[in-house]
Amino acid sequence: MSFEDKTIRCADCGSDFMFSASEQQFFAEKGFTNEPRRCPTCRRTRRQRQSNRTDVQRDWQA
């Protein structure tokens, strides 16, 4: 399976961000079939905001 860099528009802030081939490969190896909906900055913000929720922690540690 080969991957190519692609640009995705963030669902939160509306800015374009790069979903690189290496990130796509990482996602695929983790078993994620959906593309990220948010840019890395928004993802980090949401993760910090939700860090007290044990279900989210479990998801990220899986």
**Which residues would be at the binding site for Zn ion (CB under 5 A)?**
10, 12-13, 39, 42
The least distance separating Zn ion from the CB of residue 14, rounded to whole angstroms, comes to 7
Judge whether 24 and 3 are in contact, CB under 8 Å.
yes
CB of 6 to Zn ion, least distance (A): 16
Q: How near is the Cβ of 34 to Zn ion at its closest, in Å?
A: 16
Phi, psi of 43 (to 5 degrees): -60, -45
| Residues 6+ away with beta carbon under 8 Å from 15 | 9, 39
Closer residue to Zn ion, CB minimum distance, 19 or 39: 39
